[in-house]
Amino acid sequence: MLQPASSYADAYRDFHWQIPEHYNIGVDVCDRHALEGRGDALIVVDERGSVRRYTFEEIRRLSNRLANLLRARGLQRGDRVAVLLPQSPETAIAHVAAFKAGLISVPLFTLFGEDALEYRLSNSGAKAVVTDTAGAEKLSAIRERLPELATVLAVGGGPGALNFAEQLERASEDFVPVETRADDPAVIIYTSGTTGSPKGALHAHRVLLGHLPGVEVPHEFFPQPGDLFWTPADWAWIGGLFDVLMPAWHHGIPVLAHRARKFDPDEAAHLMAAHGVRNVFIPPTALKLMRQVGLKPPAGLALRTVASGGETLGEELLDWGRSTFGLTINEFYGQTECNVIVANAAKLFPVRPGSMGRPVPGHDVCVVDEQGHPLPAGTVGTIAVRRPDPVMFLGYWNNDRATTQKFAGEYLLTGDLGRTDDDGYLWFLGRSDDLITSAGYRIGPAEIEDCLIKHPAVAIAAVIGVPDALRTEIVKAFIVLNPSHQPSAALTAEIQEFVKRRLAAHEYPRRIEFVESLPMTTTGKIMRRELRRREGG
């Protein structure tokens, strides 16, 4: 959608949405390319390093078989089918089949435990699950509490499950995709549940078209000749599924599928070099791990773009990225309900360390007050997006109250605090519930965390506010040290002075606790609420 431009102003001014009345993600990302005779869609690298390639035509035939199978099992238009798989061909096939059949797919993370799975499957009313043997074993323990779940298809078989490959072999390759409207529901992606139970963000088929400019901007007018996409992020999350797999396939660009059980910086770099990856989305936590081990790029690594989102990068990581990859890491911002709406693009405008970037063409993003009124530059408020917007969710599944609370007037409220500067750059300050109030100052943790990791002893840091009788709250930092440093009172004082000199006297961490690790969400974001819980907050 995004047309090449020499400046951000031109790109933003000249952009126009092209959302047809009828649109189906599955047809767009698969069948269309198969009919045009395009080649590789997926390059699958298993744990042993073996490689298997799938063409768009193979994905079309396999997804047709699965669509027929799901229909034969009684699923009808609008029914939900969950996908509990890692990065694999079956994951992609399951989503494409669901879209083409007019079903609603529900991506689920393979590391979810029984309680997390039961909640999401029960809440969504899923009638079928596509999984593997490990997933089938988890489901067998909760199956009797899921009366709507009638079918479990497991790659490799499993307890209480039908064998995926055997069932697919018996199904027909002929299937006529359901004609869906762009506004028809397509996918439910559950939030991480930062407050209360996780909520299912229901998205329409148009969500993919809404993602395109937000992928094309940080990946420098993606696609370009020779592009090949990969991410270590799981396809169960919106970042993996709709920031990488589906946008790449919209453009007919192949995707590398490989997700190790545990992220290994050197293995990831060699994987990208060996398979000629040109475009990669790497979450900030993974970048920090790469930096922490002193990653040396292997021969043959020739990335064209690196994008990251989920946590603020800051100057230290940007400088490291330039020296390591020879390019600027383009940070982007969004959330499950309205994703990739702000981004950096080093070739379009200067990247300002600590800034999320500028609104992606097609999206009207600003900072508002509690009533949804836009605030002037420099004023702290809630980052918000004006509706309607094609990337915006339809609402929370079976939760009208939460949907209503997500909006103020014509704006969707992200729940994130931020500010704009005079040039329209947006600056993330933290979640609204992460805000620290100390001696009358409102302090966001992101800036302090960015400052902390500039200290040579600090690998990763998280900042929260803890109660204080005099100041209401004081800043406390939890710090994971680099291997060559040990905790000490002298190091504590040195780090405190380091922050005080670089930020402000009221922002330095009056308390520091050195820890072995930090609590993270399954998407690699620091769980500050868990740190507050530990402190009794």
Strand 104-108 and strand 80-84: the pairing is: parallel
For the chain, the 3-state helix, strand and coil shares in percent, each to the nearest 5, are 30, 25, 40
Question: Which residue type occupies 223?
Answer: P
Query: E strand or H helix at 213, and its extent?
Result: helix 207-216
Output the pLDDT for position 284: 84
**Coil, strand or helix at 215:** helix
pLDDT digits (tens, 9 = 90+) for 332-389: 999 999 999 999 999 999 999 989 999 999 999 999 999 999 999 999 999 999 999 9
At residue 285, the pLDDT reads 79
Say if strands 128-132 and 151-155 run parallel, antiparallel, or are unpaired: parallel
Kindly report the length of the chain.
537
pLDDT, residue 70, reads: 98
Q: Which residue from 288, 304, 383 is spatially nearest to 337, judged by alpha carbons?
A: 383
Q: What is the DSSP string of 411-477?
A: EEEEEEEEEE-TTS-EEEEEEGGG-EEETTEEE-HHHHHHHHTTSTTEEEEEEEEEEETTTEEEEEE
Sheet arrangement for strand 200-204: 162-163, 151-155, 128-132, 80-84, 104-108, 185-190, 200-204, 395-396
Query: 153: closest CA among 92, 102, 82, 87?
Result: 82
Under CATH, what is the fold of the domain 435-534? GMP Synthetase; Chain A, domain 3 (3.30.300)
pLDDT at residue 194, rounded to an integer: 43
Orientation of helix 314-325 relative to helix 445-452, angle to 10°: 50
Closest C-alpha to 82, from 184, 200, 219: 200
Q: Residue 192: what pLDDT? A: 62
Of the candidates 300, 343, 291, 279, the residue with the CA atom closest to the CA atom of residue 322? 291
Q: CA–CA separation, 24 vs 477, rounded Å?
A: 47
Q: Is 395 left (phi over 0), alpha (psi -120 to 50) or beta?
A: left
Nearest 5°: the CA angle 215, 320, 269 is 65
395: DSSP letter: E
So where are the chain's domains?
435-534
Give pLDDT, residue 475.
93
The pLDDT score that the predictor gives to residue 522 is 67
Low-confidence ranges of the chain (pLDDT < 70): 192-196, 439-442, 522-523, 537
Please report the DSSP string for 226-259 in residue order. T--EE-SS-TTSHHHIIIIIHHHHHTT--EEE--
Question: For residue 491, what pLDDT is reported?
Answer: 97
CB atoms within 10 A of CB 369: 14
For Cα atoms 464, 469, 471, give the angle at the middle one, nearest 5 degrees: 60
* Token pair belonging to 213: 């400019």
Whole-number pLDDT of residue 439: 65
User: Distance between CA atoms of 31 and 420, rounded to whole angstroms?
Assistant: 42
**Largest Cα span, the chain:** 72
The helix (H) or strand (E) run that includes residue 534 is helix 528-534
User: Helix axis angle, 284-292 relative to 265-274, nearest 10°?
Assistant: 100
Burial 327-339, CB ≥16 within 10 A → b, else e? ebbbbbbbbbbbb
Q: Which residues of 258-275 are buried (b: 16+ CB within 10 A; e: fewer)?
A: bbeeebbbeebbbbbbeb
Q: How far apart are the first and last CA of the chain?
A: 46
| Token digits of residue 39 | 């080649």
